Amino acid sequence: MKAGLIVAMTSEYEALRRAGVTGVIKSGIGKADAARAATEFILRDRPDCIINSGCAGGIAPGMMIFDIVVGAQAAYHDVWCGDGSLPGQVQGLPQRFDADPDLVRTACSLQTSRPLHRGLICSGDQFLTTPEDDARVLGIYPDALACDMESAAIAQVCRHYGVPFLSFRLISDVHNSREDAEAGYQDFWKRIADDSFSFLKQLLDRL
C-alpha cells in the first residue's frame, strides 16, 4: 500500500526523519495549510491512504506526555454553522469523520513502549493552554482524547476524494494550567528521543 504521510511542523518532520521515516511532506500549521497539502498530495501522487501524524495536546483525564493516540475519529471544535447544525459540524457533512477501520485496526495492533489510546481527535486553529479551553472542547465532545490543528481538515479532504485516512498522534502537552501547558510543550521537544516517532515507522512497515 502506498501511504501519503503529512505532518505540520519542521520539528515533527525532523523527528520522523531521525526515526527513519521517509516519504513525509510538511504541510504547515493549521486547517488551511493541512487541507491544501492533502489535496495536492492526493491529486499529484495518488496515494492509497493518507496518514497524518505529529504531536497533539492531551485533554482527556489521565493522558500523559508521549502517550500515543490513534484517531478513530476526527472532528472540528471551532466550527459553528448556525441553527440546524451541530457544534463542530460543517453544514452538509458529518460532525465526526471516521478513520479507515483497517488502518485503525493495524495501528492499534502495534507494540509500543508508551500507552496507546484509540478515540476522537479534535482540531481547530487554536493552541489550547488552560483547563477552561479543554472544558470547552469536552463540552462538545465528552469523549475527546486530544486536540491538534490539522487532523479534521485532512480527514474532510480525504472524505471528499474517497481516500482512506488515519491520524496518529504523540501527546506533547497536557493542561493543568496555562503555565503547565506551555512549559510542558517546550519540555516535550527538549526530551524527545530519536525513536519517539518510531511507532509510525512500524505502522508504515505494516501497510
CA dist 166 and 78 (Å) reads 21
The single residue of 125, 173, 187, 205 carrying the catalytic annotation is 173
The single residue of 12, 67, 78, 133 carrying the catalytic annotation is 12
CA dist 109 and 183 (Å) reads 32
88: nearest Cα among 38, 33, 144:
144
Q: Rounded to whole angstroms, what are the CA distances from 180 to 37, 55, 108, 131?
A: 32, 17, 29, 10
Find all residues with CB under 8 Å of 172, minimum gap 6, and list them.
Answer: 55, 56, 57, 65, 184, 185, 188, 189
CA dist 118 and 175 (Å) reads 20
Active site residue 40: no
Active site residue 83: no
Written as nine digits, the cell of 188 is 516535550
Active site residues: 12, 173
